[in-house]
Amino acid sequence: MVDFNLVPRSALAPYLKAGIHGPTVGVPGTKLRELKDFAFVSLTAFKGQNIALSNLVSSKFGIELPKSSKAISNNGVTFIGTAPNQWLVFAEQNIAREFVAALEALTGDVSALVDQSDARAIVELSGNKARDLLAKGVSVDLHPKAFVVGDAATTLAVHLWITLWQTDPSPTYRIAVFRAFGSSLLDWLISAGAEFGCEVQD
């Protein structure tokens, strides 16, 4: 009898192979890794409940809900403005397990929540050439005078719909994509980054 043991794995596990792509001399200009075991939730305020929702989020997380395309973080939780009255909420792995239920218990009376955790892949791109890599396929102006830490955008990367936010000035970006397109995003990032040296971290 066949023994089927189902083992959970991340969205990009079958495709992410550690190593350096492109030049191997010197420090790679870009680094790429997958974020794992996170919580990711779409949050929409009910009509007339923006202030109530904002107050709940502020009291619980110490975060003022962004009113534009911004990403505001505190203690491993990030609220990303995507549209009027709409946000994506990201929680780091150490608090992800119970996060969705806790957020729903907190805000369920004033907002609609959809758990996107298993529907998205998220990668982190860093390095002094990360901005140059993204410029090959992202139409957003990522110049440091135009796009800084805390800025976010929902846009296209080549043909893929992504949500992008900057987390530090080095620069480091986090990129969320629908899980089914995760391998395509990974292929593009590695190919585009090979010019500068792209270190894929497992």
Q: How far is CA 127 from the centre of its chain?
A: 17
**What mean pLDDT comes out for the span 18-44?**
94
Choice between 159 and 1, residue whose per-residue pLDDT is larger: 159
Q: What is the pLDDT of residue 167?
A: 98
Q: What is the pLDDT of residue 78?
A: 98
Choice between 185 and 16, residue whose per-residue pLDDT is larger: 185
Q: What is the largest CA-CA distance in the chain?
A: 62
Q: What is the pLDDT of residues 171-181, one digit of tens each?
A: 999 999 999 99
Domains recognised in the chain with CATH numbers: 19-36+119-201 (3.30.1360.120), 39-117 (3.30.70.1520)
Q: What is the pLDDT of residues 136-173, one digit of tens each?
A: 999 899 999 999 999 999 999 999 999 999 999 999 99
Q: Which of 198, 185, 166, 190 is nearest to 30 (CA)?
A: 198
For residue 32, what are the β-bridge partners? 125, 200
Residue 4 has pLDDT above 90, yes or no: no
pLDDT-based confidence at 3, cuts 50/70/90? low
| Count of residues in the chain | 202
Q: What is the pLDDT of residue 116?
A: 95
Q: What is the pLDDT of residue 148?
A: 97
Q: What is the average pLDDT value for the chain, to the nearest integer?
A: 95
